[in-house]
């Protein structure tokens, strides 16, 4: 770890273990609002919402939901970008005893209808700036659609402030949030995250990052996604940090917000780090306030990690998690030497293991499926008992679908997604290994290695590549460069160039959307 990061670690929370946590996410907000009522909670451009104002706005939402007949356990859909009203509605629904169903604002009508119908949501609250898809999707699902505008739930009169704004009690094993997976292997499934799941992971995450009221977290990860929602919004509310929102990731906007708000913590997926690193405005951004950068959501290419650290003067620590684990399961801890390329070690209270196909634990150095057990593991998939049984083992371990290995010091490394494994003529080829090599090439901006159907071998190795502007490489020259650096059965026989790689809502590369060109 660099001297820069060592100097900037807050001394108020010197250990990674979380302080004692209360029983609900809303209680975290209530405690912070009572402790530091005037402190900024949410920042968006010139707009600022303090913790007391946020807390009172959630009471307005909860009161209105109860008046409309919301019962404990009822699901409510939220379809908003990174704006303060997401947090207001999120905590307001939980305050009233409801279950939050976050939706990507980019979903189309049929997708909106599916999420609402599948979850049994009784209403949809959607950002007024989103085109007609929310209203049409809600109509197709037969639920009310409520457009939302900035400042809509600010208390305006005595009727909004009557009573203490009570918190509807919910048990630790009751559902709090249903997060729908991306549906890479079929229709999306709703991961049922309980109050216990989210409270434990929020406290752990805030302690891992050593968040305090002096921090400003740069909130460009989407709040409807597990990463941004838990490690950004909930961890900030727990610690009393400010969350500087960027409605949708744009490198120029993120760099401007970093400078203007003197952000101390940046959280992102690897493609965000790469986009910031290569943006023309990066040289003029003032990153001197940054004390910690956190990467998750996908494997960070080591070359990108080192280049970002050199340019921004801040260490990048990698973690690992998924929606089903609330999300954080492993992290490179601040008080221990990190391992570039590693996801670190298990977080407090979580166990990791590497399993063979029969479920037996493998020794250090061998590759198998990563499994997670702990208070952060979901209850199951909403109304999908068969899918739940496929991933939740009888002993409580969750099969992640990721291939991993553990070294002799207990650090874990993601080798690849189990479903992304390429079997070329009987040989296992791990795409991430080849992507790491491709990123070493000075002409490569982004790369994705994937299986290409082959009549003789079953699967062939393909590489979709985005070149840096002005690069003069050809598919043949890049293929030859790879052939010199990896075993003969591994190097990509098919290489093609794209203007950009398709990405999901968090900026993660979506291999399933990459079109393989027909052979010339």
Over residues 61-89, the pLDDT tens digits come to 999 999 999 999 999 999 999 999 999 99
Greatest mean pLDDT among 10-24, 171-185, 226-240, 297-311: 226-240
The predicted structure's pLDDT at residue 164:
54
316 burial via Cβ count (<10 Å: 0-12, 13-18, 19+): buried
The predicted structure's pLDDT at residue 3:
36
User: How confident is the model over 378-392, as pLDDT tens digits?
Assistant: 999 999 999 999 999
Q: Which of 354, 328, 361 is nearest to 411 (CA)?
A: 354
**Residue 365, both tokens:** 């150095």
Percent of the chain with pLDDT over 90: 76
Mean pLDDT computed over 313-331: 95
Place 506 in a pLDDT band, splitting at 50, 70 and 90: confident
d(CA 443, CA 445): 7
Percent of the chain with pLDDT over 70: 93
DSSP 401-425: EEEEEE-TTS-EEEEEEGGG-EEET
The predicted structure's pLDDT at residue 16:
42
Mean pLDDT computed over 446-464: 91
The predicted structure's pLDDT at residue 421:
85
The predicted structure's pLDDT at residue 488:
86
**Residue 221, both tokens:** 């990860």
The pLDDT mean for the chain works out to 90
Mean pLDDT computed over 418-428: 83
Higher pLDDT, 154 or 73: 73
User: How confident is the model over 40-63, as pLDDT tens digits?
Assistant: 999 999 999 999 999 999 999 999
The predicted structure's pLDDT at residue 185:
46
User: How confident is the model over 286-318, as pLDDT tens digits?
Assistant: 999 999 999 998 778 899 999 999 999 999 999
DSSP 159-224: HHH-S--------TTSEEEEEEP--TTSS--EEEEEHHHHHHHHHHHHHHTT--TT-EEEE-S-TT
The predicted structure's pLDDT at residue 184:
45
Q: Please say whether the beta carbons of 320 and 9 come within 8 A.
A: no
């Amino acid at each position: 770890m660099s001297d820069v990061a060592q100097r900037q670690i807050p001394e108020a929370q010197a250990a990674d273990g979380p302080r004692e946590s209360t029983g609900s996410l809303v209680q975290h907000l209530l405690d912070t609002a009572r402790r530091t009522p005037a402190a900024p909670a949410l920042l968006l451009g010139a707009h600022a919402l303090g913790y007391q104002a946020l807390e009172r706005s959630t009471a307005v939402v909860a009161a209105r939901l109860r008046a409309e007949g919301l019962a404990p356990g009822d699901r409510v859909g939220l379809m908003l970008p990174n704006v303060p009203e997401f947090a207001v509605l999120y905590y307001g629904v939980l305050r009233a005893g409801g279950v939050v169903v976050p939706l990507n604002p980019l979903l189309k009508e049929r997708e909106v209808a599916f999420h609402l119908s599948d979850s049994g949501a009784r209403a949809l609250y959607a950002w007024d700036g989103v085109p007609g898809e929310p209203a049409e999707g809600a109509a197709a699902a037969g639920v009310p659609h409520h457009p939302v505008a900035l400042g809509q739930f600010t208390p305006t009169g005595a009727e909004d402030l009557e009573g203490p704004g009570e918190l509807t009690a919910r048990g630790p094993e009751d559902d709090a949030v249903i997060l729908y997976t991306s549906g890479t292997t079929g229709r999306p499934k709703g991961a049922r995250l309980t109050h216990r799941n989210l409270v434990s992971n929020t406290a752990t995450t805030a302690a891992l990052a050593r968040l305090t009221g002096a921090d400003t977290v740069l909130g460009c990860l989407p709040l409807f996604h597990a990463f941004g929602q838990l490690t950004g919004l909930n961890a900030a509310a727990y610690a009393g940090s400010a969350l500087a929102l960027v409605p949708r990731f744009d490198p120029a906007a993120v760099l401007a917000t970093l400078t203007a708000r003197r952000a101390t913590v940046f959280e992102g997926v690897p493609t965000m780090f790469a986009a910031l690193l290569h943006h023309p405005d990066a040289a003029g951004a003032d990153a001197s306030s940054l004390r910690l950068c956190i990467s998750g959501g996908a494997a960070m290419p080591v070359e990108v990690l080192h280049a970002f650290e050199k340019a921004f003067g801040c260490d990048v620590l990698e973690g690992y998690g998924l929606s089903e684990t609330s999300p954080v399961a492993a992290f490179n801890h601040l008080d221990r030497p990190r391992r570039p390329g590693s996801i670190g070690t298990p977080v407090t209270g979580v166990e990791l293991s590497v399993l063979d196909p029969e479920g037996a634990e493998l020794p250090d150095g061998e590759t198998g499926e990563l499994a997670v057990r702990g208070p952060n593991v979901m209850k199951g998939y909403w109304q999908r008992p068969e899918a739940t049984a496929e991933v939740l083992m009888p002993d409580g371990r969750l099969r992640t679908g990721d291939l991993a290995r553990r070294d002799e010091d207990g650090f874990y490394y993601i080798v690849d997604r189990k479903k992304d494994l390429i079997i070329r003529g009987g040989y296992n080829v791990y795409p991430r290994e080849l992507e790491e090599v491709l990123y070493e090439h000075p002409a490569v901006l982004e790369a994705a290695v994937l299986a290409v159907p082959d009549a003789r071998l079953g699967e062939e190795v393909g590489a979709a590549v985005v070149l840096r502007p002005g690069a003069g490489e050809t598919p043949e020259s890049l293929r030859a460069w790879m052939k010199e650096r990896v075993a003969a059965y591994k190097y990509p026989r098919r290489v093609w160039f794209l203007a950009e790689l398709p990405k999901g809502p968090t900026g993660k590369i979506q291999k399933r959307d990459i079109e393989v060109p027909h052979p010339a």
